[in-house]
Structure 1
């Protein structure tokens, strides 16, 4: 009854069905892996809210290079005391978003504005300032968010100056962002669109950690700045895609079976309607 399945036409259709089902299953599995990864990240961020802060030196590896005494000028790549700044290795994924404490001195003359950032739907800048540790290494500290000046796209908001002297900052480890981008100088300050650590280390002439720090609320020098939260990720969309792809795969198998069953039953005779000749 189903010998027709061995014909070239049906073997080709079966191969196409299997290929489509395989691709849909792989797409569903990929979305499932993303769902699990994002769920794990959200759980880590949630747990970090109540975890004690640990010293950064005991949490993530620092950059390999050490500068000579003194700080290099901002705004000219390669003319700092160590030339192009080095960037330390990225930490293990399970270390990200962990709370840490770090003690050092802010480079108050080296603020970095990250434009195009939103907080509760409002557009503004995130303010990053290098914090130099006692061993000469540094970490970028995201001191918080400030809203753009309304009505004038060319102006920049007033940013509170980072405090002088030694400070201890508590915050959460954030990974550097990816992407090539220009580094602009506007009104004497560095402006970027993404926190890409390697170009910023080169521009600053400082050896930077392979992460940056999202400072918690009420940190030194954070007056009038809004603390940037750890970015919890939406997972429902990934879960929806998992269900969607696997349903499509099941529907493809069902469709092949339905076509095969229809072929096996043969053509259905049409019912002949009697003609009313009296009309």
Structure 2
């Protein structure tokens, strides 16, 4: 009844179905890996909200190169962890990061180097401020930095990518992304290999700044894709089996079409 499955045509159908199902299973496995990665990020974000901040050196290695160099990147497990550092802000090398959105409004994030006692620096994202009147790229009036020693508590954030060149205008740096390596090349000291997203500061941060929100990754979207791809794989195998069974029934005569009526046996139409 199912010998037709061994014909070249049906063997080709089977091979195509198995390949398609295997690809869908692999895509589901890839989404499963992404789900675990994003879940781990969310867990680090949540863990960073608890406990006492660690000293900066416990989470971020110190740079050892010359001025303008960048230290090692943080370990993945240390991203989003809270750390504390004390130093003095360098008011002559503040960076405006343009095109940043908070509460659906485009503005700027202000990044300032915090120079530590050993002469190295760590970049601190002080927060978000709206643009000046005139449009989303109108340079704002940036609140002054506190003088003297400053203690910050912030989240360890790895360098961003892309963003184009870093420009210097009116005594400030401007960039599209917080790319630590590019900003470091404009600075007269070695820079740590990540930046800090400010949580707290002593003395207190200027109230003109809005905190940059920390959003969790959408890991449930990946979970939905897992179900989708694995379901498609199962449906493709089921579809092959269903079509094969229908063909077997047809060949066995189970679904043979009804024979046409013998027109000679049809009753004559009434007058």
- Scaled by the length of structure 1, the TM-score of the pair is 0.87
Give the 4+ runs in structure 1 shifted more than 4 A: 272-277
Match of 2:91 in 1: 108
Match of 2:17 in 1: 17
CA contact (8 A) 1:111 1:189 kept: yes
Match of 2:112 in 1: 129
* Alpha-carbon distance, 1:248 to partner: 0.6
Match of 2:257 in 1: 270
* Alpha-carbon distance, 1:58 to partner: 2.1
- SS state of the match for residue 204, structure 1? coil
1:155 aligns with 2:115: no
Cα–Cα, structure 1 residues 54 and 47, in superposed 2: closer, same or farther, change >3 Å?
Answer: same
The equivalent position to 2:211 in structure 1, one of 227, 231, 246, is 227
Match of 1:213 in 2: 196
Cα–Cα, structure 1 residues 150 and 253, in superposed 2: closer, same or farther, change >3 Å?
Answer: farther
Query: Partners in 2 of 1:271 and 1:218 — Cα distance?
Result: 86
Query: Partners in 1 of 2:57 and 2:191 — Cα distance?
Result: 13
Query: Which whole-Å deviations, capped at 9, do the CAs of 1:22-81 have from their partners, x for residues lacking one?
Result: 111111111111112111211221121122111101222111215xxxxxxxxxxxxxxx
Q: Pairwise mapping of residues 39-58 of structure 1 onto structure 2 (< 5 A)?
A: 39-58=39-58
* Alpha-carbon distance, 1:180 to partner: 5.3
Query: Partners in 2 of 1:47 and 1:241 — Cα distance?
Result: 27
CA contact (8 A) 1:162 1:221 kept: no
Query: Partners in 2 of 1:62 and 1:138 — Cα distance?
Result: 9
* Alpha-carbon distance, 1:144 to partner: 0.5
What do you get for the CA RMSD once the two structures are aligned? 1.9
Deviates more, 1:94-103 or 1:200-209: 200-209
Deviates more, 1:171-180 or 1:242-251: 171-180
Cα–Cα, structure 1 residues 238 and 25, in superposed 2: closer, same or farther, change >3 Å?
Answer: same
* Alpha-carbon distance, 1:264 to partner: 1.4
Query: Partners in 2 of 1:155 and 1:176 — Cα distance?
Result: 25
Match of 2:32 in 1: 32
Aligned residues: 262
Query: Partners in 1 of 2:105 and 2:267 — Cα distance?
Result: 76
Q: Pairwise mapping of residues 55-74 of structure 1 onto structure 2 (< 5 A)?
A: 55-66=55-66
Query: Partners in 2 of 1:225 and 1:276 — Cα distance?
Result: 95
* Alpha-carbon distance, 1:218 to partner: 5.2
Match of 2:76 in 1: 93
Query: Which whole-Å deviations, capped at 9, do the CAs of 1:215-248 have from their partners, x for residues lacking one?
Result: 1145546211112233321122111111111111
- SS state of the match for residue 216, structure 1? strand
* Alpha-carbon distance, 1:154 to partner: 5.3
* Alpha-carbon distance, 1:204 to partner: 1.8
Query: Partners in 1 of 2:30 and 2:229 — Cα distance?
Result: 10
Query: Partners in 1 of 2:138 and 2:83 — Cα distance?
Result: 34
The equivalent position to 2:167 in structure 1, one of 184, 197, 206, is 184
Cα–Cα, structure 1 residues 170 and 218, in superposed 2: closer, same or farther, change >3 Å?
Answer: closer
